[in-house]
Every structure is written in structure tokens, then in C-alpha cells.
Structure 1
Amino acid sequence: MLMPAPGILACRIQIDPTIQNRFSTQSHTSKQGKKMFDLIIRNGTVVDGTGSAKFKADVAIKGATVVSVGEITGDAAREIDATGKIVTPGFIDLHTHSDNSFLIDPLADSKLTQGVTFELMGNCGMSYCAPLSEKNMGGFKERTDKYDPNYKPGWSTMDGYLSALEESGSTINIAAQVGHGTVRGAVMGMEARMPTPEELDRMTGIFAESLDAGALGMSTGLWYGPGSYSLADEVIAVTQPAADRGKLYSSHIRSEADDLSGLFPAHAEAIEVGRRTGARIQISHVKAVGPKFWGRGYELIEGMERARNEGIDVAGDQYPYEWSSTGFSGAMFARWALEGGREKTLERLADSDTRAQVRNDVTYYINRNHSAEGCVIASFPPDQSLEGRSLQDIADEWGCEPEEAALRLYEQSEGSYVLHSMELQDIDSIAKWPLMSIASDGSSLRDEGPLSSGKPHPRSYATNSVIIEQFVEHRGLFSIEEAIHKMTALPASRLALTRRGRIAPGQIADVLVFDPKNVKQHNDFVNPHVYSTGMDYVFVNGKPALENGKPNGTLPGRVMRSLDD
């Protein structure tokens, strides 16, 4: 089936005047008196990430650092003529699920080819690679076995995981968050109850240990088990270590529709965590899902504005599609049916009366995604021929109702869907907010090898390209300065990165050179594993990772354990 084109966004950016230092002409001088740099990018138009107007300037890099911006004389080991191009900071993706990507294939480059030079993993409460215990190892295996069923983790802690990433290497910079669902699972398994005081202390201790080991934030996935079994008091308690360390709290909130707490109370809960702890709050993939909330996205922004006026540091991120993606269980099952984990759910489905109750709930979830035609299989390892087909199509082939088809699919495997869950008017109204970053909710993948399996959401290959091609060039809804700000300095400020997100002396040299008119998305929901094009050069930590439009096969990325890295 054919999918709709990406949605439309528009925004206006409010610029912080304290980050507009653009014209410094610092330089390095050799012993012979010549100015010497490793790289000079000449004659480009700098879009510095702050949202300020673009300007003509050269950019000089020494080692991993931008050392001069302006009219630069002197020599360099390498020069690039950027005439007719723009020079921008590398894009920062605050919301990804690439936790195992670089362990499987360090050349995972679907983000690199879009200009992403940094991504933050461990979102939605699922830092499924760490910390690990016997109680939560299933999450790691479920995510990794589809790529490499023989992969065995040689660590249990966040420190060990980050060390494994460092040993593997990566095309871009990567950082981890520690997930509440993963930590809760390590301590309590999938039990749907409050933690004992001792269990809460253990969880809080694991958060503190993981943050001190180099996790740059923490996340919750309060829609997914076991996070959905927690009460707000538990969430507040385990968030405090992140708040005390000045690190980010990212939340896939408890509801994005009219289930569980409901959309607006779920937003209020995230804000209350900030009110109680003092943490910076990042509401993940802000959206309004289902017929009862379509057309009301602007109300979410109004609520966050009121909270900011109160002094609560809350902001959000968003991907530019009307289609979302999640696993079978997250997409189709009420939370009660998932209590205790997959084994217990399968037992419930084996009982005819309970199965009928589950089916009634599945009807609700199908209808909030524009019908069974709006529920499309993204990943189904037992039968890859079903990938890319709608639930309605599969039900028709099997001679059953879509609800029954959804249950039969789950009984075979925990696959995933892409879901037509949103509407354009809400994407527009949410995106207009100046504090709404662009983030993919995808993963670093590759168009060959194990990471090329399935039919994942196109966002893993095209989120940033869509913003430039559609929203800047074709629709004129963002200026290039606004778009770059939403992908660079704004997400850097949310994470509190001190040396990334801008083109300025002293900033780490994550730098892009490209002509916005050449940036193109080439993938879709039917053929998602197709790279975007248009990036001429991508430098990661001052080293080339993509040259003349092609990845060069090097691994200049770093595992970032400090906000000052």
C-alpha cells in the first residue's frame, strides 16, 4: 500500500543573544610564523546553529576543534572550497534507539548520510543493553537476536556497556541514557506492583551508578511495561539522581491518546516530575494520537508554556511524520494483558474468554490508527514476506478479522508496526514551538548486512533530510536558519552539551558542508533502507566521515561520557 508524504512543519526561533559569538578570528601559528590548520573550509555560508542569520565566512579546524571563523589567511593541511554551500554544525538527534546498532555493525551510517554527528540512545525507558541482569536479559535478546542471535553481552553495568561501544567504534558520536524500564526490570522483573523501599533504593542506586559511569541522562517509557506499572512517586524518586547531576530526563509519557491516564494528565505528570525534582524535562516525540485528540496538539504547547512560566524547564522533540512505530505489544494490547511479560500474555490468549477480552481492546487500538489499513508490519522475523503489508491485507488473506490477525501475529513473534496515528494539523502546531527539537525516534542502520533487515520506519534514514528538502526547500515553512537551529544548538542546549551544536571557536568540529537544494530523501515505507543524499562533507570530531557525498568507511565517532566532551 502507498503511504502519505511526510507532514509539514513551521516555526519561529527565539535566539539567545549569549550564543551569537560568530566572528572571532583566533588562529594557530607555526614555528615558522605561518598560520597552520588541519582544515580550512573556505568561501562557505555559515549557518552557525543559533538561529541567527547566515553569513559568509571561512572555518578553520585544528585537531578536533573549530579554532577560527571569519576571513582566514594562512595554510592548512587540507582546504575545501565551499562556494555555493552552507557550513553548519553536525545534527544532534536527541531521541534514538541505536543502543545495539554499533555493536552489530560500527559502520551503521543511515544517520551519518543525513548529517547526524551525534545521537542520544536509551530512550523510552529502554536502555536495553545496560544495566543487565537475569531478570531483564529478555529485552536485550529480543532486540539483538534479529540481527545476530549469537551475540552475547560481556558486561552487566552501564560502564561495561559503554566500554564495549568504545571498543567497537562508531561512525558518529553516541551517548547513552539509562532507562527506567530496564532498571526496574533488572530489580523487579515484570511484576505489576509498587517497589519495596529496599527495591526502590536499589533502583535509585543503579541510576546514580549509571549516570556516574557516563550515561548522559535517564529516560522513562511509562506506556510500556514495566514502566507502566510504576506510580508517579516512584518516577520522581528515581529521577532525582539525574536532576542532582544536571542531566536530562526524557519521557515517553504514560499516554499519548485516551488510554491509561489520558494524554493531558500524562503531560502533566512529566511536568510534575520537573516541579518536584528540578530536572530538565524532555517530552519525547510530542504528539496527539487518536480521534479524540486530533486537532488538539496546540493545547500540549500551551501546557508546556504555562509550566515554563512557572520556572519548570520543559521542552520537547518531534519527528516529521504522521506515522509512528512501535512493537506489536505496545501497539495493540491493553496494559493489563501484558502484565508479567510475554509468557503470561500468551497464557491469557490461550484462554478463550480472556482472548475475547483482549480482542475487544485490540479493536480500540486499531481504530485510533486510521483503521487496520493504517497498521503496517515493519518487522516480523518468522515471515519477512509479511513486512510492508497492512493488518487489513493480512487478515483478508487469512480469512479472519484484523483483531484476530493481530493476536496471531503476536503469538508467533514480537514484531513491530508502523502506524498512521497522527494528523498533519497537529504536527504543524506542535512544530511551531521554538523549543521543539527535531529527533528521529529511529536507529542508525545500514543498507546492507544485518542492520538492513525488515521494513522499519523511514525516519531512520530520512528525518533530517525531510526537514531540509520538504520543510525548508519545497514548502518554505522553516528558514534554513530555523531548521538548523532545531537540529543543532537547540538539542545541544537541552542535553546541556557545552562544546557541540554551534559553529564557533572552541566548539568541537562536528561540521557539515552541503547545498540545501541538493538534499534528497530517497526512501519510503515500502523501501526504507535507502540512504538520503546531498551531504558533501561530514566531519566528526574534526575528521572526515563522509566525503564527496559518500561515507569513507572510517570510525571517527566517540562514546561521550561527559557533557563537556
Structure 2
Amino acid sequence: KMKEVVKMINDARKRGVYIVADMYPYNHASGGTIIPIAENAGWAPFHLPDDMEPFAELRKKMRAQNLTDAERKKLREQYVDELAKALSDKSKREQIRKSVLEGEPHRPSSVALAGWDSVLVTVARKNTHLIGKIFSDIAEEQKRDPFDVAADLVIDEPDLYVAMGVMSEDDMRYAMKQDWLMFSSDGDAWPIIKETDIPLIWHPRDFGGQARVLQKYVREEKVLTLENAIRKMTSLPASFLQMKDRGLLMKGYKADIAVFNPETVRVNATHSDACQYSTGTEYVIVNGKIIIEAGEYNGALNGKLLLLTDN
């Protein structure tokens, strides 16, 4: 569908509509627990059979907006127990299998659309040997059906995390070549955290979005020129967001500058270890002051909150 979408945008721009788009340079979406893979159609609710009503009722309660964290945690534990019981029952497992593989009318499941070879294990505490593997390979190794692998993992380790590869690399390359396409991380700013009681489930785009463009799509695959890629990260978004004194190296503009080596810049974040800074950027200047020297952050806080009214 990407070519259709691009055509729609180009046609709108020809009519004078100021429209752009942004993308993050990964074909896997943000992750989540294994549970949705083995109980619904692509993270969307489906109508459970009557004999699974307790399960459906718990889902309804979990969607309530006024729950405390303790209440939500308790409901989730009950929900996981109910799901494990359903998946342990041969008849109910087959009903759930059908829903997952077929989805709903007009809303096919992510697995049905992208296939089991798109489901990547990213975080596991018990089944650590599965980290970095895709479900189709796991199923082949175990000589089992992929859904049964997923269902049994829900029973064994419901907090195992996966990511869905729902984007086509060819579509991504086609889109990023468009003059109006910008790059973003679609993520958040996080500190480096190594010791924690909860799984680190962030997406590698948080730490590696821009570096991946420069490494993979400029240096390795040559999908974009270096100049074009930099424009899509700097002057194009600054212009679209009406930042009239940012995004270009010009007299009178704010000195926001990244000094990097295009031959060595590299993304180090992965789905299973997302808290990894990229390397190859030697200096970063924000509002005229250095904050990264020789690749190391110096602790300076030179940022400024930007408001639309500032310009």
C-alpha cells in the first residue's frame, strides 16, 4: 500500500496542501508481552465464545480508566491465569487459535498479516535462549506449530516480550526516498539503566534511530545520500515545525550541531538491549555550548523548551 499512500500525499502537495510525513528506520513495531499473540487478533479485541465469558469479562474490567495500579496488577494476574487455563484446554485452545490466525472481518490479526517469521523475542527472563529468535525458527527447531509455541510460552512465561515486524523494508526504502519524508525516533529520552526489577522493553529506535539511518541506509545500502539524510533530520523538520532559527548552519541561527564521522557512526541498541548509545558522534553542541566531547556526555544542560509562539 505504500505506493498508494505516497501517491495520495504527492497529489495533495500538488494541490497546494502542505503535508509531510515522518518515519523511524526499523521494520519492527514497539514490543509487548507474548499474551496478545496468543489470545487476540493483533492487539484488537475479538468476541470470545460464551463458554469463555469469565475471560472476556476480565478483559472488560481491565479497560476501565479509574483503576489503581494495584487493582490493575491484580486483574492482570487473574487475566493471565484465566488465559493459561483456556490455552491448557484443547477445545478452547483451538477456538483461540482460529481467532488469532483468522482475525476479524476487516481487521486481520498481525500474525495473519505479517506471519510468524515477523514475531521476534526481545526480552525473556526464564527462556533466555529464545532472545533474538523469531517464532517461525523456534517452531521449526522444536518441530511444533508456531501458535502452540506461543500458547505454551504464555503459560510458562507470560511476561516474555516480543516485537512484530509489521513494516516492509521495501516500503520503508521507497518512502524514505520521498523529498517530504522526515526521520524521527517515535520514541522517548531514557537514561542508561542496567539494574532494574522490570524488563527493559524499550525499542532500539529510542537510542539508535538517527544513527541507523546514517549507518544502514546511507553508508551500507546507499539508499540515500548523506546530504539528503541529514536534511531529513535537521532543516526539513525544523522548517515544518516553524523553527525559523534552527536546522541550518547559518549566521544568526542557533548553534545546534552534531559532529560525527560518517564512516564510523554506528547504532548499538538492539531489541534485547535497547539502552545502548550509538557511537561515532564525537561532539554535540546545543545552543552554542558543547555537551558531548570526544564521544562522552559532559553533564551540561544547555537545552531550551521550544514553544510554537517563540517563532
TM over 0.5: yes
Query: How far, CA to CA, are the matches of 1:497 and 1:408 in structure 2?
Result: 52
RMSD in angstroms over aligned alpha carbons?
Answer: 3.7
Question: Relative to 1, partners in 2 of residues 1:555 and 1:416: Cα closer, same or farther, differing over 3 Å?
Answer: farther
Letter of the structure 1 residue corresponding to residue 20 of structure 2: A
Query: Deviations 1:460-509 (Å, cap 9, x if unpaired)?
Result: 33221122223323333322221111001212233333333222233332
Q: Deviations over 1:510-537 (max 9, x none)?
A: 2112232232234444554433211121
Contact 2:110 2:166 in 1 (8 A): no
Paired residues of 2:177 and 2:224 also in contact (CA < 8 A): no
1:458 matched residue in structure 2: 204
Structure 1's 494 and 414: CA in aligned 2 closer, same or farther, altered over 3 A? farther
Aligned to 1:442: 187
Whichever structure has more strand as a proportion of its residues is 1
- Contact map agreement 1:461 1:532 (CA 8 A) in 2: yes
The answer on whether the counterparts of 1:455 and 1:529 sit within 8 Å (CA) in structure 2 is no
Q: 1:450 to 1:426 in 2, by over 3 A?
A: same
Instruction: State the partner residue of 1:341.
Output: 62
Query: What SS does the aligned partner of 1:314 have?
Result: coil
Aligned-partner Cα distance in 1 for 2:236–2:36: 30
TM-score of the pair, normalised by structure 2: 0.69
Task: Please state which structure has a larger fraction of its residues in helix.
Answer: 2
Equivalent residue number for residue 132 of structure 2: 388
3-state SS of paired residue (2:303): coil
Aligned to 1:514: 260
Which of the residues 317, 320, 327 maps onto 2:22? 317
Instruction: Please give the alpha-carbon distance, in whole angstroms, between the structure 2 residues aligned to 1:537 and 1:393.
Output: 42
Structure 2 unaligned blocks of 5 or more: 47-58, 64-74, 102-108
SS at match of 1:368: helix
Residues 395 and 370 of structure 1, relative CA distance in 2, 3 Å threshold = closer
Post-superposition shift, 1:358? 3.5
- CA, structure 1 residues 547+416, in 2 after alignment: closer, same or farther (shift >3 Å)? same
Match of 2:122 in 1: 378
- Answering whether residue 228 of structure 2 is matched by residue 482 of structure 1, we say yes
- Partners of 2:122 and 2:158 lie apart in 1 by 13
Q: For residue 419 of structure 1, what is the aligned residue in structure 2?
A: 164
Q: Distance in 2 between matches of 1:375 and 1:433?
A: 29
Name the counterpart of 1:299.
4
Please give the TM-score of this superposition, normalised by the length of structure 1: 0.41
CA distance in 1, matches of 2:5, 2:217: 22
- Given candidates 98, 117, 123, the residue that maps to 1:360 is 98
Kept in 2: contact 1:387–1:455 (CA 8 A) = no
Note closer, same or farther for the CA distance 1:490–1:367 as it changes in structure 2 (3 Å cut): same
> 1:414 offset after TM fit, Å?
5.9
Q: Which amino acid aligns with 1:467?
A: V
Residue type of the alignment partner of 1:378 = T
| 2:22–2:181 Cα contact (<8 Å) kept | yes
Query: Which of 133, 147, 156 lines up with 1:403 in the alignment?
Result: 147
Residue 433 of structure 1, CA deviation: 1.1
Matched residue type, 1:545: I
User: Match for 1:304: what amino acid?
Assistant: I
Residues 525 and 336 of structure 1: is their aligned pair in 2 closer, same or farther, counting only changes over 3 Å?
closer
Distance 2:239 2:92 in 1: 48
Output the CA distance in 2 between the equivalents of 1:330 and 1:508.
Answer: 46
**Percent sequence identity over matched residues?**
27
The answer as to whether partners of 1:379 and 1:456 remain within 8 angstroms in 2 is: no
Aligned length in residues = 268
Q: 1:550 to 1:404 in 2, by over 3 A?
A: same
Segments of structure 1 that go 5 or more residues without pairing to the other structure are 1-295
The structure whose RCO (Cα within 8 Å, separation 6+) is larger is 1
What is the match of residue 180 of structure 1?
none
- CA deviations 1:22-80 (Å, max 9, x no partner) are xxxxxxxxxxxxxxxxxxxxxxxxxxxxxxxxxxxxxxxxxxxxxxxxxxxxxxxxxxx
